[in-house]
Chain A
Amino acid sequence: MKNQHSFKLALIALIAFSGLLYLGCSNQNQTAQKNTGALSGNVASQVYVPPGEYDEFYAFMSGGFSGQVSVQGLPSGRQLKVIPVFSVDPEKGYGFNEETKPMLNTSHGFVPWDDAHHPELSQTNGKTDGRWLFINGNNTPRVARIDLTTFETVEILEIPNSGGNHSSPFTTENTEYIVAGTRFSVPYPQKDVAIDSYKENFKGMLSFISVAEKGEMEIAFQVLLPAFDYDLAHSGKGKSHGWTFFTTYNTEQKSTLLEVNASQNDKDFIAAINWKKAEEYIKQGKFKEVPAEYAHNVYDEKSHIATSTMKKTVRVLTPEDCPGLVYFLPCPKSPHGVDVDPTGEYIIGNGKLSADLTVHSFTKMQEAIANESFETTVAGIPVLKFEDVVAGAVKDAGLGPLHTEFDGRGNAYTSFFITSEVVKWKLGTWEVLDKAKTFYSVGHLMIPGGDSGEPEGKYLVALNKITKDRYLPTGPELCHSAQLYDISGDKMKLLLDFPTIGEPHYAQGISAGRIVPNVKKFYPIEENTHPYRAMGEKDTRVEREGKTVHVYMTTIRSHFAPDNIEGIKVGDKVYFHVTNLEQDWDVPHGFAVMGANNAELLIMGGQTETMLWEPKKEGVIPFYCTDFCSALHQEMQGYVRVSPASSNIALSWGLGEPDEEEVSSDD
C-alpha cells in the first residue's frame, strides 16, 4: 500500500515535472518565434520602400476612440496623414476655427468627439474607385464622408432614431447607399420610459443613406426592426446586389448584463434587407414620414466654410406594411462580421461565440423565400430555416471568428479573436488551408478591396487589439497594432507589424494609382468664395462693427499682411480671417495668437480660415506662423496692440516701414 502510494506520488511528480518541462519548451518556442517574428527568408525587402518611392497601396485605418482616420502606406506601414473626422484636432484647427465648427454640430449641440469604427471606400461596379471614404461615428450616431482629392472631411450626417451607429457604413456596389444600423436599440420614438420596458418600447433602426453623384448624403429611408443589437453589415454584390445584410446579437432583448444575458440563444439572426424592394415601397408611398431632428453638415471646398442644417423628418418603413422587405437568417452565435464574397453568393456569418463559421447561400436564400419555407416569424418578419439557407460551415477553425475578407482567388480569410489568428479557407469546400498567428487578439482584418467585388489580394492586414510586449513599453497605455501578411502564395507570411493610432477597428486599402492622379495640391485662389477672403495684400484691412473686429489678413512667404495692428480693445471679438495666398504644393501657413482660447489655424494654399480671439488684457500681443514655411519662417510674426475698452486709439494696420525714397521726398 505504502509503496503503491509513493509510486503514485512519484508518478504525479513526474507528470508535473514533464508538464513544467513542456511549458518551458513551449515558452522557449514562443520566445524564439517572437524574436524572429515568425519570419523566414528575406522579408525586409518585401516591405522596404526606398526613400522617395511611393507605397503600392493606401490604407485607411479607423482611429477608433480617437475619432480620426489614419492614412498609411502599404507595404511600408508608414503613416502619411491623420484625418480629423469626428474629433476636434488642434493641429489643423479642425473644430476650432470658425469654418469647421459646424461640422461637429448635432441635435445634441457641438459634439467634439466620437468613436470612429469602419472606413469604407466608395465603389463603382463593385470596385473601389478612390472618390470618397465613408466612416461611422458610433457614439453620437453619425456618418462622415472624406474627399480623397483633399483627404479632408467634407460631410457629416447625423442618424436619427439610432442609439449607436455601429453597423455602418458598408456601401452597395455602386455607392447607391451606405447604411447605418443601430448597435443599441432605444425607445422609438425616444422617450422617458423604464429601462425594463425594453421589449415593449425599444426598437432597432436601420438607415439607408443615398449618396448623390457629387457625394452628398441623405437618409433615403429607415427600416424599423425589433430591439436587437445590429452589429455589422455588408451589402450584396453581383447576384446579391440589391440586398444588405446586418448581423444581430441580443436577440434575447435584454438590457442588463448583456455579456451573459445576450449570449444565451444558440442562434441569432442575420437581417437581410431587400433595398430594391424598399425603393418600390417608397415609390408606392408605403412609408411614414416621422418627425426627427438630425444635423446635416457640409463643407464647401470653394468657400472653405461648413454649414450645418437641422433636418426635421425621416421616412420610416415598417416590415409589417412591406412584405418581402426583411428576412431573418438564423446564424450561430452572436455573429460579429457579416461578409459577402466577391461573387455575391456566400454570406458569411462570423459567429463570435461559436467555434464554427457559418456560410449562407444567396441562391438558397432566394429559393427558400420563393418557397415561403419559413421556420417562424418574429415581429412580422419571416425567419428562414437554417438548414434551407446554409451552404456550409468552416469547422473548428479556431475560436471567436470576427470578420472575413476575400482575395479574389476563391479564398477567404477570417480573424479569430480568442485564438489570435488569421485562418485562410477555401470557399465552396470550406477546408482550412492555412493559419497564421497574430500578436495579439486580432479584431478585424483587411485586404485591399477585400470586401468589394474585386479584391486586390496581395496583402492582408490584421488589426490587433492588444500589443503587450511587441514594442518598447510606453507606460500603462500601449498602442494597438497592424500586422502585414503577404498572401500572394499558398501560405500567409508575416512581413511587418506597425503601431496605429487609437483603435483600428477596420481599415480599407486601395491601389495608390486610383487616388494619386486626382489629389489636389492646393486650392486655386481664384475659386475662393469665402466672404471674408482677401485676394491679395491690397485687399487686407481691419474693420470694426461695434465690439466686433474683422481682420482681413493674408499670408505669403514669409509675412502676414498686415502684421502690425492697433486699435483693438479689451472685450472685442476679433475675427482673424487669414487667406493663404500661396499657390504651390505643400506651403501651408500656420497662425497662432498668444492666449487664444481655441487653437492655431493651419491654412492651405488658396484657403481662408478664421480664428476668433477675445483679448482679455491690455498689452501688445505677438502672433506668428507655426508651420515652417521658408528660410524666413522664423521672421513671420507680428503684433496686435490691445488697449483698454475706454481707449480712443483708432484702428490702424500696416506692413513694412514707409519707403526710404518717400521719406526723403517728404523732406
Chain B
Amino acid sequence: MKNTPRILMILGIAALLTLFIFPMWQITLIAPQYPDGVTMHIWINKLGGENPSVIQNINILNHYVGMKYIDEDAIPELQYFPYVILFMVGFGLLAAYFNKWKFYLTWGGIMVVLAILGLYDFYLWEYDYGHTLSDKAPIKIPGASFQPPLFGTKEIISFTAKSFPHISGYFAGLSILLAFVAAWFKLKFDKNEISKSNAVSAADALLYARAKVN
C-alpha cells in the first residue's frame, strides 16, 4: 500500500517507454483502389508505415496535387522529441524516488502540456502539408485542401483519411493517467499519515502543556 504510488509511477514510465517500441499515431488513406488502405505510422523519432514502402506510396499519391514530399529528415521534432521523452523518464524516476504527490502531479501536468503542444505541432505540420502546394502541381483543384484530420475521419477528394493514435500513443495517455492516480494515492496516503501524526502531535502538545503547567 505504501509503495502503490511508486509502482503506478514506474508503470507510467514503462508505458511512456513504449513510444520507442510502437508507433504513436497512424493516418490511413482508403480508396477503392486501396481497399486495405495505405497506413502511415508516426513514431516518436521517425516516420514509417505498415510496410517499408508506405511513405513512398503516399508521396506518389501526393505528388499529383503538388504536395511536399514527406521526409522525416525535414521534421526536426523527430530529432529532439526522443530527448524530451527521455527527460520525462528521468524526471518520473526522480518522482518515484522522492515519492511526493506534488512531484507526481507536476509530472502529469507537464505531460499534459507536452501532449497538447505535440498535438498542436502535429496540426501545424498537417496544415503545412495540406496547404503548401507546388505551383507546378499536375492536378490543381481550386479551393481544395489536402490536410488530414487531427483526430477522426475526413474525406479528402477521393480518399477517406483516418487519423487515430497507435499503440504507444494510447500508452503515453495511460502514463499520464497513471501519474495522476499515483499523485492521488500518495495524497490520500499522506493525509492518513498526517491525521495519524496530527493525533500523535496533539497528544504530545497536551503532555507538553501539562508539563509546562506542572
Known: A631-B139, A632-B138. A584 touches B64 (CB 8 A): no
A583 to B57 alpha-carbon distance, docked (Å): 7
Cα A630 to Cα B62 in complex, Å, equals: 12
List A contacts of B52 (CB < 8 A): 524, 583
Judge whether A632 and B60 touch: CB under 8 Å: no
Q: Which of B53, B64, B138 contacts A583 (CB 8 A)?
A: B53
Q: Say if the beta carbon of B132 comes within 8 Å of chain A.
A: no
B interface: dominant SS: loop
Whether the Cβ atoms of A584 and B53 lie closer than 8 Å is yes
A557 near B60: Cβ-Cβ < 8 Å: yes
A23 CA to B52 CA, complexed, in Å: 70
Instruction: Give 21 A-B contacts (CB < 8 Å), ordered by A residue.
Output: A524-B52, A556-B60, A557-B60, A557-B63, A581-B56, A582-B60, A583-B51, A583-B52, A583-B53, A583-B56, A583-B57, A584-B53, A584-B56, A584-B57, A584-B60, A630-B64, A631-B64, A631-B138, A631-B139, A632-B64, A635-B138
Expressed in whole angstroms, the Cα–Cα distance for A177 and B52 within the complex equals 39
Interface centre among B60, B63, B64, B138, by most A CB within 10 Å? Answer: B60
Question: B-side interface residues toward A, CB under 8 Å?
Answer: 51-53, 56-57, 60, 63-64, 138-139
Which residue of chain A is the closest to B53 with respect to CB atoms? A583
CA distance A631 to B63 in the complex (A): 11
**Interface of chain A, helix or strand or loop or mixed?**
loop
> Nearest chain-A residue to B57 (Cβ)?
A584
Which A residue sits closest to B135, measured CB to CB? A660
User: Contact residue range for chain A?
Assistant: 10 to 19
Residues of B within 8 A of A584 (CB): 53, 56-57, 60
- Measured CB to CB, the nearest residue on chain B to A629 is B60
Chain A residues whose CB sits within 8 angstroms of the CB of B53 once the complex forms: 583-584
In the assembly, what is the distance between CA of A432 and CA of B53, in Å?
Answer: 58
A556: which B residues are within 8 A, CB to CB?
A: 60
Q: Which residues 606-634 of A sit at the B interface, judged by CB distance below 8 A?
A: 630-632
A280–B52 Cα distance when bound, in Å, is 50
| Residue from A556, A581, A584 whose CB has the most chain B CB atoms within 10 Å | A584
| Least Cβ–Cβ distance between A27 and chain B, in angstroms | 51
**Complex contacts, A557 vs chain B, CB 8 Å:** 60, 63
CB of A664, distance to nearest CB on chain B (Å): 14
- Complex Cα distance, B51 from A95, in Å, reads 33
Residues 579 to 600 of chain A near chain B (Cβ within 8 Å)? 581-584
Rounded to whole Å, the gap between the CB of A354 and the closest CB of chain B is 54
If A583-B56, A584-B57, A630-B64 are given as contacts, then 15 extra A-B residue pairs at C-beta distance below 8 Å, sorted by A number, are A524-B52, A556-B60, A557-B63, A581-B56, A582-B60, A583-B51, A583-B52, A583-B57, A584-B53, A584-B56, A631-B64, A631-B138, A631-B139, A632-B64, A635-B138
The residue of chain A having its C-beta at the shortest distance from the C-beta of B38 within the complex is A584
**B-chain residues with CB within 8 Å of residue A631 when the two chains form the complex:** 64, 138-139
Q: How far is the CA of A583 from the CA of B138 in the complex (A)?
A: 22
State A630–B65 Cα separation when bound (angstroms).
13
- Select from chain B the residue with minimum beta-carbon distance to A606: B53
Q: Which 5 A-B pairs have the closest CB atoms?
A: A583-B53, A557-B60, A584-B57, A632-B138, A583-B56
Instruction: State how many angstroms separate the Cβ of B35 from the closest Cβ of chain A.
Output: 9
Chain A residue at smallest Cβ distance from B33? A586
Q: Which residues of A contact B139 (CB under 8 A)?
A: 631
* Minimum C-beta distance from B69 to chain A (A): 12
A213-260 interface (Cβ within 8 A of B)? none
Which residues of the partner chain A approach B51 to less than 8 Å between Cβ atoms?
Answer: 583
Q: How far is the CB of B123 from chain A (nearest CB, A)?
A: 29
Q: Which of A556, A583, A630 has the most CB of B within 10 A?
A: A583
Interface members, chain A 66-116 (any B CB < 8 Å) = none
Q: How far is the CA of A654 from the CA of B63 in the complex (A)?
A: 20
- CB neighbours (8 Å) of A583 from chain B are 51-53, 56-57
In the bound complex, residues from chain B placing their C-beta under 8 Å from that of A581 are 56
> Which residues of the other chain, B, contact A632 by a CB distance below 8 angstroms?
64, 138
Question: Chain A: which residue is nearest B55 at the CB level?
Answer: A583
Chain A nearest Cβ from B54, distance in angstroms: 9
Determine the residue in chain A with the shortest Cβ distance to B60: A557
CB distance from A659 to the nearest CB of B (A): 11
A52 shortest CB reach to chain B, Å? 9
